[in-house]
Amino acid sequence: MFPRARNIETAFQHIRLFTAVVVFASFGFSGIVSWLAFRTGERAQQRIYILASGKALEAMAADRKDNIGVEARDHVRSFHQAFFTLDPDEKVIEANLRRALYLADASAKREYDDLRETGYYSGVISGNISQQISIDSVRLDLTNYPFYFRCYATEKIIRPSSQVTRDLVTEGWLRNCSRSDNNPHGFLIERWAILENHDLKVEAR
């Protein structure tokens, strides 16, 4: 009788111990799963998906200071490509220049007004001229604010009878401003000036 009672008591102790182990293991497992789910959720919130040409591309969110050099150079490139890319179509010229003037201050507007007054854009249209620009490099100084830049580029002016290759060097300063659809990088070019713009070679077509 007593040995059987002791066996039953021992069995209950084993069951209680086993139950306690299972309960603590369940709590531990639940805690680990919750922590992993939280980390996964945090990482998912830092992911940005960009739709480009029908494909979803993943980008990682980061503080602006981590990418300020990349964004500043792309802002300078975008401005120069919009300002200097011309085709013999008034609507194309207006659209490009409107996009460029959102990225810079009155110094770019003055340059545009000077070119328009001298009949440059009218000559592009009437002469069936296309102008393309290739950005060679953008030198950027991030040690002082506003940020100084110097842009080195090559222009190609394509006429019906010839193609002119020109050297282009500009400079300016970048200051921060609000981001918008028209200014996605949140920079504004100030005191923009053309330092060099001369012919490198002329080729017959």
Q: How far is 135 from 80, CA to CA, in rounded Å?
A: 8
The DSSP H or E segment spanning 146 is none
Write down the pLDDT at residue 28: 78
Task: Judge if 141 and 169 occupy the same domain.
Answer: yes
Q: Please give the tally of structural domains in the chain.
A: 2
Write the pLDDT tens digit of every residue in 90-125.
999 999 999 999 999 999 999 999 999 999 999 999
Q: CB 163: neighbour CB atoms within 10 A?
A: 15
Domain range spanning residue 33?
2-48
Residues 44 and 68 reside in one and the same domain: no
One domain, residues 72 and 142: yes
DSSP one-letter code for 57: E
pLDDT at 171 over 90: yes
Q: What is the pLDDT of residues 34-92, one digit of tens each?
A: 777 777 766 655 566 666 555 555 665 555 566 889 999 999 999 999 999 999 999 99
Q: Please tell me what DSSP assigns to residue 104.
A: B
From residue 191, alpha-carbon distances to 43, 138, 157, 194 in Å are: 41, 16, 26, 10
